[in-house]
Homo-oligomer: A and B are copies of this chain.
Amino acid sequence: MPFEYEKNGAAIYEESFRTIRAEADLARFAAEQEPVVVRMIHAAGLVGIERDVAFSPGMVAAARAALEAGAPILCDARMVSEGITRPRLPAGNEVICTLHADGIHDLAAKMGNTRSAAALELWRDRLGGAVVAIGNAPTALFHLLNMLEDPDCPRPAAIIGCPVGFVGAAESKDALHAASPVPNLIVRGRLGGSAITVAAVNAIASRKE
């Protein structure tokens, strides 16, 4: 006997979002933030993370305007760059991950840092006005914050900072949100990751649910 299950992708999305809206406490989010949080919960499979989601003022508008103007999306990991749904991007935006670029191993060794942090050095000429999506490495987010300490470093339009894990993740996200060098979105604490980050990008990229 074959297993029976819902096979309609649109129906699956609809039922998922309905379940999330019935279970999650979304009252404190502004109208443009709410669909972003719903997609983040969806990607995580976890009602409750909404308590740890924090937007800086104007974040969604800033990131959306940048994307509509053709800004590239700079990602710390291939799991982030590969997850972004290209048809949702408003301007055929470039999606860039430099983690596997030539010379990153050597650069990381020279910097005394991780490959994830070193990869950001290759972002400098694309960083101005870009949307940054960090969904894996706390060291990448910390290194970005240190790059932005330099007033001559170009400013991205917005940062989605959702690295995950047990060492530096919570600290790097708190540091981003406290310093807020540009509009940003974080999930406080250990939770985060590529799926949650991708969900935020996909939700901001298109108003279509």
Nearest CB of B to A138, in Å: 7
Copies in the complex: 2
Query: Which residue in B20, B117, B172, B192 is a CB contact (below 8 Å) of A45?
Result: B192
**A102 part of interface (Cβ distance < 8 Å):** no
Distance A166 CA – B12 CA, assembled complex (angstroms): 8
The range of chain A's interface size is 35 or more
A43–B164 touching, CB < 8 Å:
yes
- Given A82-B82, A167-B15, A195-B195, are A5 and B45 also a contact pair (CB < 8 Å)? no
Residues of B within 8 A of A192 (CB): 45
A7–B164 touching, CB < 8 Å:
no
Chain A residues touching B, majority SS: helix
Closest residue to A111 on the B side, CB-wise?
B7
Chain A 181-209 near chain B by CB (<8 Å), digits 1 or 0: 00000000111111100100000000000
Nearest CB of B to A22, in Å: 10
Query: Which residue in B8, B142, B190, B193 is a CB contact (below 8 Å) of A5?
Result: B142
Nearest CB of B to A139, in Å: 6
List A90-106 residues whose CB lies under 8 Å from chain B. Answer: none
Query: 8 other contacts beyond A16-B165, A79-B194, with CB at 8 A cut-off?
Result: A2-B149, A3-B146, A5-B168, A6-B168, A12-B168, A44-B193, A45-B192, A194-B194
